[in-house]
Amino acid sequence: MTIPTRYDWEKLQNFCSEVFIQAGVDKESAKVVAESLIQADLRGVDSHGVVRTAIYLKRIEKNMINPAAEISIESEDEAVVLINGNNHLGAVVGTKALEIALHKAQKKGAAIVGVKGSNHFGTGAFYLQKAIEKNMILMVLSNASQTMPPTGGIRPFIGTNPLAIGIPAGEEDPFLLDMATSVVARGKIIVAAQKGEDIPLGWAIDKDGNPTTNANDALEGSVLPVGGPKGYGISMFIDILAGVLTGAGFGKYVNNMYENWEEPQNVGHFFLAIDIDRFMPIETFKKRMDLYIREIKKEPKAEGVEEIFIPGEIEKNIVIERMKYGIELPSKVVEELIEIGNRYKVDLYKAVKTDSFQQKEALNEC
């Protein structure tokens, strides 16, 4: 039998949520983690989507993540909070940090929430979208385990530490920047390795420091900073705020979720929320943002360029398509999910996308 590869996003989200519940995660937390994974897939960030389900579950099963942990506040004043995730699931810890940051910013105009004791928390865009819905500007930083060398080095020391910034607009799409500080997120190399595909030259080096297009060699080596020393500097800055400042791990002290089965990851995050109304009425700001975006999009285009996009716009278009036609998963990921479903007695095939997929295939043949 041919394994279906395209899935209805809502049904796939329900599948993931139910699997986590069966693994011992409470219903609300399971919903948050599943939503985080599916939102990544919908936006085309497959490296942070349901491909992560297996490793999250394995770390729960091996007691490397504690889904029953109480997330605690270690210090707090009017606009600054430090929370300890106590090794709960990263998306749950991040969501709690976001709620605190938005609440504090609404009261005081701006707020910072530092996080320690967390795990991989998904995409930054997951949190940005929620802040934008509340008419807030949000910056999210997170560190990660060693995958990238300092400029001039050949051995991984810092993570592909992501930077995410969300800013609402009016009639135009919001500004939604979510980027790794490496040329590419390591998760994309993992996906390429799973598919048996090569990666572009310039993404990574092998363990001896040589440029490589082999995804498996890249995983044994290092991904490279975006913009060379500039990306390295930004990644280091993120590690300082999310790791050194919060009391979380930093550099080699952020444990690898795929390799370290003795200790929690101790990932750190950093949330900065800004209430726009403290500067000007939100509707005025949105009109100014719309004007700004429209002026950028009217700029002269280089040869062969049909449209100038703002950060987040391409992903929005992918969301529209995948909501309609379904999320396509690599066969290896599908096989993993089937095995997980069998283990926890949850039927993946209920999430298969049929009619819309056939409709799209028909359109492609026209």
pLDDT tens series, the chain, 366 aa: 567 889 999 999 999 999 999 999 999 999 999 999 999 999 999 989 999 999 999 999 999 999 999 999 999 999 999 999 999 999 999 999 999 999 999 999 999 999 999 999 999 999 999 999 999 999 999 999 999 999 999 999 999 999 999 999 999 999 999 999 999 877 788 888 988 999 999 999 999 999 999 999 999 999 999 999 999 999 999 999 999 999 999 999 999 999 999 999 999 999 999 999 999 999 999 999 999 999 999 999 999 999 999 999 999 999 999 999 999 998 889 999 999 999 999 999 999 987 654 444 433 443
Which CATH code is given to the segment(s) 1-62+328-366? 1.10.1530.10
Which CATH code is given to the segment(s) 66-182+225-298? 3.30.1370.60
Give the number of other Cβ atoms within 10 Å of residue 199's Cβ.
Answer: 23
- Measured distance CA(46)–CA(81) in Å, rounded: 32
Nearest by Cα to 337 from 39, 44, 37: 37
Q: Which amino acid is at 154?
A: I
Residues of the chain with CATH 3.30.1370.60: 66-182+225-298
Tokens at 276, concatenated: 């726009």
Dihedrals φ, ψ of 232, to 5°? -60, -45
Residues of the chain with CATH 1.10.1530.10: 1-62+328-366
